[in-house]
Amino acid sequence: MVSDVRQIQTQKENSPLGMVIGGIAGGVIGNQFGGGSGKALTTVAGAVAGGAIGNQVGKNSGGPDVAWQVTIKLDDGRYATVTQAADPQVRPGDYVQIRNNLVYRL
């Protein structure tokens, strides 16, 4: 039986797309500087810096992620907490089932 339902904010995951785009852009910019082996170093440094910046921009865009935390009192008296991205559409007192780490109303 559901004992508590809360909407929570979660940390965004790493952004591979932002990292790749930032890395490419940083590499292109870094390639404009230096000469010989220095050019290779500035290209690599630019790609690394661009990837880190792109990843952070991807994490910060669009605001925080929202998830639902559902606390359930199990039949044996223990409690289980499930955190899921989709609104489980349950409320305290509802009988539920946990399948594949998601909450479903019975």
Q: Where are the domains of the chain?
A: 2-10+64-105, 16-60
Q: pLDDT tens digit string along 26-74?
A: 666 666 666 666 666 766 666 666 667 776 666 555 556 789 999 999 9
Q: Is the dihedral of CA 16, 19, 23, 24 positive or negative?
A: positive
The set of residues, in sequence order, having a beta carbon less than 8 Å from that of 59 and lying 6+ positions away, is 12, 13, 14, 15, 18
pTM: 0.53
**pLDDT at site 44:** 67
- Are 49 and 24 contacting, i.e. CB atoms less than 8 angstroms apart? no
Q: pLDDT tens digit string along 83-99?
A: 998 999 999 999 999 99
Both structure tokens of 55: 């990843």
Cα 100 to chain centroid distance, Å, stands at 19
